[in-house]
């Protein structure tokens, strides 16, 4: 969802701004495929109805009453992020950048998730905050909370809209029927199960969706790898391709920016790893909310760490098919597969400055599925795409209705609302959120450029927030003025810097330099990493500076449980050793280091 | 609700559907795509095993 830095902008999969087109990318579905899809829809709605007792009070509906086991919240934690855009975007990046795409997982997501579980969850869960903005209110003051709630609510609705648009567009291209029809049908299904069973229903379904996605997509990696001649065959073909050696090494080519991603090692470590990924995974409420619904402190801390285990292996099922797609395409027509090319409005292939056809990387995943999956498996894969969309959508909706109800509505009315009033507002917010998101989807279909700008902005708003959390959770000194002005100035600087920086070859406009062309970067990714680093640093400096020059607003007693040094050490001696967050987290980190070395 | 129960049931159903359809289309040209492998049967077995394991654990938890 919000991690637009993860994913090339896919406001339009079909490449023609919201309409279908005869790109030959059509799934020929038969009744068995439809049956598989139908069974899935019955189950997701059924789970919502089975959990309807869990939505009698506002606390149950919006917060799940902190009652869910850790393995469920753990899988929901990664499923919430696993939108269709992530699947399609990661396969696309695998084709475009090769194995370096794994940095999004093995440098980005995993360390951040482990850090969240071990170091931040004691304060998030222990403070009993209902949301990320509410924690900010407890640690700082009302204005920081309002700033964060309003920007989060706005972003959530818009990014839901963008992904709804992407899905409806994808389904229209693959299956046919009608863009608006898909938009309405998919939203109504999500609405039905969220409204019926609240957050519990969203989370339980996310776990079902997680398995759907894995089982629906996994055979692709197997078949494609077999076709390309195994791992050795893939390496040989990639070495002979224009991407060359850079596509099979994750670190070896990063001494400078001369690699497929255009980013040197310090850009990857600091920009992608530390700032963007830590920012996204540790402060995004749609993620953190899953952990807050866990039934104990131990389960809450394990949530992101348990999620990290399958997340670590995801490159094998999403990035690998992308790399194979590229290898087969470059191997020539004899290989039997080629990445579809971008077509203009007249159906003619678009050419780059060197006269070569431009590949439409966003179609890598659907076209590979079409190339290898017979009917039966095809239905399973289509269901997986649908499931991935729904998990992301429901995560956004449940985060939105909570922030709206508790942080904005209840607060505006002086906190005097009864539980009943909050519950009905929660439900109204669920419906309104989905309707607003549909509106945004229609805007996305009409004005691609506005959406592209917004997606870029959303990509780095977590960076200032992460700086604020880092100072707030780990120093007692950071004060209210520092937090508020740091966030405001940091975010503003990011927008400004984006307007001054540009990527070689891009015209000024949506992709940057809309103020002036001052800072030049080789690739889109190096630009977004740099914007994030600037945003983080400015926020950090302003917050630290103001906090040093003016006094503290809260005493040690008031900050107990909110700041790391004033939070009692978590005792996990009663849990089996393997279940202790620190042990589990260390094992995950060792595994991820080994993976980085293997694919060095 | 024990979530393993619905997950177990749905993947058991999917397993049966894919295996059944795989047998029905044995030797069909639709498997030219999947390199001549009848993936519906193979993958159907994987789903069936996963579904039954989930179902078994859900039932066992209920007894104790």
| Domain residue ranges in chain B | 4-63
According to the model, what pLDDT value does residue A22 have?
Answer: 44
Task: Among B17, B33, B37, select the one facing A36 at the smallest CB separation.
Answer: B17
CA angle in degrees (0–180, nearest 5) for A60-A62-A63: 65
Percentage of chain A modeled with pLDDT above 70 = 94
Residue A84 clears pLDDT 50, i.e. is over it:
yes
- Dihedral class, residue A343 (left if φ above 0, else alpha if ψ from -120 to 50, else beta): beta
Q: Is A123 left (phi over 0), alpha (psi -120 to 50) or beta?
A: alpha
Tokens for A83? Answer: 């939108």
Contact (CB, 8 A) for B12 and B31? no
Per-residue confidence at A316, pLDDT binned at 50, 70, 90?
very high
Average confidence (pLDDT) over A395-409: 91
Place of tokens 């891009």: A506
How far apart are the C-alpha atoms of A244 and A532, rounded to whole Å? 29
Listed in sequence order, the DSSP H helices in chain B are 4-24, 39-63
User: What letters, b where the CB count within 10 A reaches 16 and e where it falls short, cover A456-489?
Assistant: bbbbbbbbbbbbbbbbbbebbebbbbbbbbbbbb
CA–CA separation, B34 and A18 (whole Å):
31
Name which of A567, A67, A558 is nearest A292 in CA terms.
A67
DSSP A61-85: HHHGGG-B-HHHHHHHHHHTT--HH
- Whole-angstrom CA distances from A430 to A212, A398, A404, A511 are 25, 7, 10, 33
Which conformational region is residue A276 in: left (phi greater than 0), alpha (psi within -120 to 50 degrees), or beta?
alpha
Distances (CA, A) of A256 to A99, A274, A277, A421, A495: 17, 19, 22, 58, 27
With cut-offs at 50, 70 and 90, classify the pLDDT of residue A23.
low
Supply the pLDDT for residue A43: 95
Q: What is the ipTM metric for this complex?
A: 0.96
Least-confidence region, from A419-428, A445-454, B55-64: A445-454
- CA dist A113 and A312 (Å) reads 11
Fold entry, domain A4-446: Sodium/glucose cotransporter (1.20.1730)
Kindly state the greatest CA–CA separation across chain B.
49
Match 């980085």 to its residue by tokens. A596
Q: Which of A32, A211, A377 comes nearest B43 by C-beta?
A: A377
Beta pairing partners, A502: A520
- In A413-494, beta strands by DSSP E: none
CA A491 from centre of chain: 20
A 10 A CB-CB count for A520 gives: 14
DSSP state string for A477-527 = ---HHHHHHHHHHHHHHHHHHHHHEEETTPPSBTTB-SS---EEESSHHHH
Interface contact B34-A208, CB threshold 8 A: no
Please say if the pLDDT value at position A116 is more than 90. yes
Contact A106, A308 (CB under 8 A): no
Q: What is the pLDDT of residue A19?
A: 38
Percent of chain A with pLDDT over 90: 41
Residue B37 Rama label (left phi>0; alpha psi -120 to 50; beta): beta
Between residues A350 and A403, which one has the greater pLDDT? A403
Question: Both tokens of residue A335?
Answer: 């290989």
Domain boundaries, chain A: 4-446, 452-568
User: Which of A351, A13, A401 shows the shortest CA–CA distance to A194?
Assistant: A401
User: Do B35 and A223 count as a contact with CB atoms less than 8 A apart?
Assistant: yes
Reported residue count of chain B is 64
Q: Which two tokens stand for residue A591?
A: 């595994």
* Helix H or strand E encompassing A23: none
Per the CB < 8 A criterion, the answer to whether A501 and A533 are in contact is no
Q: Say if residue A35's pLDDT is above 80.
A: yes
Worst-scoring range by mean pLDDT, A7-16, A215-224, A475-484, A519-528? A7-16
Dist CA A325 CA A329 (whole Å): 6
Q: Please name the member of A43, A219, A227 whose beta carbon is closest to the beta carbon of B43.
A: A219
Tell me the nearest-neighbour CA distance from A372 into chain B, angstroms: 5
Q: Which of A261-265, A595-599, B9-13 has the highest mean pLDDT?
A: B9-13
What's the rounded mean pLDDT across residues A525-549?
Answer: 89
Q: For residue A349, is pLDDT > 90?
A: no
B25: closest CA of chain A, how far (Å): 10
- The 8 Å CB, 24+ separation contacts for A52-58 are A52/A196, A52/A197, A54/A197, A54/A198, A54/A200, A54/A201, A55/A196, A55/A197, A55/A198, A55/A200, A55/A201, A55/A423, A56/A423, A57/A419, A57/A423, A58/A405, A58/A419, A58/A420, A58/A422, A58/A423, A58/A426
Helices (H), A22-141: 31-50, 58-63, 70-79, 84-97, 103, 110-115, 121-126, 132-139
DSSP summary character for residue A148: H
Chain B environment of A215 (Cβ under 8 Å)? 11, 14, 43, 46-47, 50
**pLDDT given for residue A18 in this prediction:** 36
pLDDT at B64: 65
Report the distance separating Cα A30 and Cα A381, nearest Å. 13
Q: Quote the CA–CA distance of A92 and A97 in Å, as a whole number.
A: 9
Judged against a pLDDT cut of 80, whether residue A573 lies above it is answered with: no
Looking at the predicted structure, is the pLDDT value of residue A72 above 60? yes
* pLDDT on residue A21: 42
What 8-state DSSP symbol labels residue A248?
T
DSSP H helices, A354-406, are: 364-372, 377-402
Q: What is the pLDDT of residues A231-281, one digit of tens each?
A: 999 999 888 888 888 888 888 888 887 788 888 888 888 888 888 889 889
Average pLDDT estimate for A13-38: 69
Q: What tens digit of pLDDT does each residue of A157-180 get? A: 888 888 888 888 888 888 888 888
Q: What is the pTM of this model?
A: 0.91
Are the Cβ atoms of A223 and B34 closer than 8 angstroms?
Answer: yes
**Token reading at A509:** 């406009």
Let me know: does A491 contact A458? Beta carbons within 8 Å: no
The minimal CB distance from A373 to the residues B34, B46, B50 is found for: B34
Q: What is the dihedral of CA A572, A576, A582, A587, to 10 degrees?
A: 180
In A, what residues contact B, Cβ < 8 A?
Answer: 32, 35-36, 39-40, 43, 46-47, 50-51, 72, 204, 207-208, 211, 215, 219, 223, 226-227, 371-377, 380
What are the residues facing A351 on neighbouring strands? A357
Structure token pair of residue A87: 């699947």
Would you say the C-alpha torsion A507, A511, A512, A515 has a positive or negative sign? Answer: positive
Return all residues near A30 (Cβ < 8 A) that are at least 6 apart. A375
User: Quick one: A100 exposed, middle or buried, by C-beta within 10 A (0-12, 13-18, 19+)?
Assistant: buried
Q: How distant is the Cα of B5 from the closest Cα of chain A, in angstroms?
A: 11
What 8-state DSSP symbol labels residue A357? B
What confidence category does residue A9 fall into, taking pLDDT thresholds of 50, 70 and 90? very low
Chain A environment of B5 (Cβ under 8 Å): none
**Tokens read off for B31:** 């498997």
Higher confidence at residue A263 or residue A19? A263
Question: CB under 8 Å to A117, separation ≥6 — which residues?
Answer: A291, A301, A302, A303, A304, A305, A581, A585
């Amino acid at each position: 969802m919000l991690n637009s830095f993860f994913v090339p902008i896919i406001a339009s999969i079909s490449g023609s701004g919201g309409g279908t087109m005869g790109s030959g990318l059509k799934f020929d579905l038969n009744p068995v495929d439809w049956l598989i899809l139908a069974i899935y829809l019955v189950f997701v709605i059924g789970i919502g109805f089975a959990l309807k007792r869990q939505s009698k009070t506002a606390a149950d509906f919006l917060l799940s009453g902190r009652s869910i086991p850790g393995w469920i919240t753990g899988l929901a934690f990664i499923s919430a992020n696993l939108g269709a855009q992530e699947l399609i975007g990661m396969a696309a990046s695998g084709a475009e950048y090769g194995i370096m795409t794994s940095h999004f997982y093995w440098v980005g997501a995993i360390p951040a998730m482990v850090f969240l579980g071990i170091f931040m969850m004691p304060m998030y869960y222990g403070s009993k905050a209902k949301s990320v903005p509410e924690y900010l209110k407890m640690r700082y003051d009302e204005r920081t909370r309002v700033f964060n709630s309003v920007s989060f609510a706005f972003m959530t609705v818009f990014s839901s809209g963008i992904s709804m648009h992407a899905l409806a567009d994808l389904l229209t291209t693959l299956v046919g029927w009608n863009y608006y029809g898909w938009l309405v049908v998919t939203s109504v299904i999500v609405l039905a199960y969220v409204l019926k069973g609240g957050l519990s229903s969203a989370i339980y379904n996310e776990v079902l969706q997680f398995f759907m996605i894995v089982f629906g997509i996994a055979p692709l990696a197997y078949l494609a790898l077999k076709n390309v001649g195994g791992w050795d065959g893939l390496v040989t073909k990639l070495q002979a391709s224009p991407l060359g050696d850079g596509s099979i090494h994750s670190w070896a080519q990063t001494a400078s920016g001369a690699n497929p991603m255009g980013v040197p090692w310090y850009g990857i470590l600091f920009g992608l790893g530390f700032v963007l990924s830590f920012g996204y995974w540790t402060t995004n409420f749609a993620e953190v909310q899953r952990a807050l619904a866990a039934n104990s402190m131990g389960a809450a801390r394990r949530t992101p760490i348990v999620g990290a285990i399958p997340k670590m292996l995801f490159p094998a099922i999403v990035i690998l098919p992308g790399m194979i797609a590229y290898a087969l395409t470059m191997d020539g027509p004899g290989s039997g597969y080629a990445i579809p090319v971008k077509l203009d409005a007249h159906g003619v292939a678009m050419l780059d400055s060197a006269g070569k056809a431009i590949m439409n990387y966003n179609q890598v995943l659907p076209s590979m599925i079409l190339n290898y999956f017979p009917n039966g498996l095809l239905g399973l894969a289509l269901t997986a795409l649908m499931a991935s969309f729904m998990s992301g959508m429901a995560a956004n909706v449940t985060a939105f209705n909570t922030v709206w109800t508790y942080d904005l509505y209840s607060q505006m009315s002086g906190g005097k609302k009864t539980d009943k009033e909050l519950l009905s507002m929660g439900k109204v917010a669920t419906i309104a959120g989905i309707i607003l998101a549909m509106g945004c989807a229609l805007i996305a279909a009409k004005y691609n450029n506005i959406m592209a700008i917004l997606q870029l902005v959303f990509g780095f708003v977590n960076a200032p927030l992460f700086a604020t959390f880092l100072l707030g959770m780990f120093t007692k000194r950071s004060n209210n003025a520092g937090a508020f002005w740091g966030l405001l100035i940091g975010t503003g600087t990011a927008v400004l810097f984006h307007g001054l920086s540009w990527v070689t070859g891009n015209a000024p406009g949506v992709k940057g330099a809309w103020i002036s062309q001052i800072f030049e970067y080789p690739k889109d990714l190096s630009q977004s990493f740099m914007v994030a680093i600037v945003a983080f640093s400015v926020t950090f400096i302003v917050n630290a500076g103001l906090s040093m020059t003016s006094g503290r607003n809260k005493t040690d007693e008031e900050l107990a449980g909110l700041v790391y040094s004033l939070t009692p050490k978590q005792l996990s001696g009663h849990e089996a050793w393997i279940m202790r967050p620190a042990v589990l987290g260390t094992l995950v980190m060792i595994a991820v280091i080994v993976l980085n070395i293997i694919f060095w | 609700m024990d979530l393993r129960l619905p997950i177990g049931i749905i993947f058991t159903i999917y397993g049966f559907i894919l295996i059944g359809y795989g047998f029905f289309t044995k030797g069909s040209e639709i498997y030219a795509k999947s390199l001549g492998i009848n993936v519906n049967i193979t993958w159907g077995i994987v789903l069936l095993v996963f579904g039954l394991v989930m179902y078994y654990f859900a039932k066992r938890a209920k007894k104790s």
